[in-house]
Structure 1
Amino acid sequence: MELVATTAGLFPLPDNQRERLADLKGHQKSDLISGDESADVTATYDAARERLVSVQRDAGLDRVVEGQARWDDMLAHPLCVHDNVRTEGIVRYFDNNNFYREPVVEGELVEDGDLAADLAKAARLTDDLQAVAPGPYSLATLATDEHYGDESAFLAAVAEFLAGEIAQFPEETETVFLLEPSLTFDAPDEGAHERVRDAVRTVSEAADADVVLHSYWGALDETLHAHLLDTGVDALGYDLVTAHEESAYLVQEYGTADSVALGLVDGQNTLVEDAETVRERIEWFEESVPVSDFETVYATPNTELFYLPVNKFEAKLQTLAEGVSLTTEAHQ
């Protein structure tokens, strides 16, 4: 079993770059406009990317993400910068005090290479590149459709759009994390489970890398979990911070993929866990499920990390890396 310390991406902006962007754009980070960026804005985001990659490398993470500094609209970003999408007013992001601009799809969703361009820049900074992308169901639920006219058709179109984006990822990409918080926070009705399965499969099959489907904020519905096992993803994610018993039950009853991602530190709480807590949570999961000889266990925060102050974010990266080291030593 390989233990991999990594994250779900979407990091808080380093202080220097946040202040610089606020000065360049003239208002708060929550209102920053992505898209047609000036040379100064682009340079500031590039500097933020370099800083975020450096922080991960210094912490000792096994997979390094681009950091998503440009994702002012969080998981809605790929649509908010698309030519056939207009952005409307500010909408609350899930249940937290963060906001994004509502993307309204008014034309065909054709891949534009926005995600791949950022990853290509990150690939020059690390040899252990991990991509982060919204899952199709979450991206569809964060958006409003004024073009496709049907929920099923819209979900399929979003999936094809993401598949096109992921197919352009640089060959250095080792892992792709698909973030699907809506699968628990705004779970689909049972009648939509097969459509969600098909959408995830479409995206997963486009990747030339290991794909991790990471839901958080609780445990998946049992039937939905069973359908997601039929998507071809290499790993499913489980939130051991807020739903450890429920997560273990799903694996006990239905099995899981060959690999798992375990949410081991709280991405929304400023309390910094210690490395021993990470080790204990990994070992508890291994002891609680019938099959523990996974190909890979991805040790990750249970959510994105942009909720945290920069110093707490950096401390949690260190905790993850140290916790994986402790666990690896205990297994030897």
Structure 2
Amino acid sequence: MARGRRAPTRRACEGAVMDLRGRTVLVTGASDGLGLESAVALERAGARVLMTARDPAKGARAVARVQQEVPGATAQVVALDLADLASVRDAAEDVHRRVDGLDVVIANAGVMMPPERRTTADGFELQIGTNHLGHFALVGLLLPLLRQQPGSRVVSVSSLAARGGYMDLQDLQWERRPYDRQQAYGASKLANLLFAFELERRLRAAGAATLSVAAHPGVSGTNLMSTMRVPSVLERLSKLVMASPRQAARPQLHAATAPGVVGGEFWGPKGLGEVRGRGVAHATVPSNALDQQVARDLWTASEELTGVTVDLPSPTS
């Protein structure tokens, strides 16, 4: 794919999800926002959905919402705190006990711009620790289940913020530099893309039938505005131009379920600036996500930091 260029647009997707009866899908961060909307759509298409939630009470309410929207839904909650590697390992073991294979993992959960530098249970900067390292460990631990299912997919949910992200592997945890929450968020979402593309290269090198795909929602009116502590008037005005969570979930649903999706693709809204749109199209890949050496170095650092070694060969450069 050309550096910084938009790939050819495919036919717009209006949010329809293919028949998923007999398929098992895990969605992280499914207690609200894009994750919950994705869970509803997947259940409606007949999938067995595992919904991860950090808060058990919120998880129970999310399952109730899915059951309200889709009578007869069988969605289940998996307890998961991506900011705690012990919880990630427990969640992966729980999933291994429940299912013999996974067809899709949608790595959707994330945190956005806390007001000051915070750390995870393992001492990582909160945004890189949750958005990237937690998902890296989870996908690595679930990869044997994914490889049981031909055509399975890992969908890494990135952001438009990845365009301004910079990966400083010498200070991944923001311990040496003055903390900039916006730059730290952009770096964590760039890490999602670097991981998605490196995972795809390693899957191909292994001859695996699993695909790694990325997506971004554009700009969505989720609960992240409250996390950013913007004035309520600005929040209300912003939501007038933002996509609804249901609309914003379409790119990741397309990446997870649409026929013809190819590993290494990046999907987003089909609209001006990829901010929002009723359809789905190939997204512009930031040039900073195409550096394969940085991707390999980030992979190595992620294995060392999480203690999760992913059983895939490193591709030749």
Q: Name the TM tier (shorter chain).
A: 0.3 to 0.5
TM-score, structure 2 length as denominator? 0.35
Q: Give the structure with the larger strand fraction.
A: 1
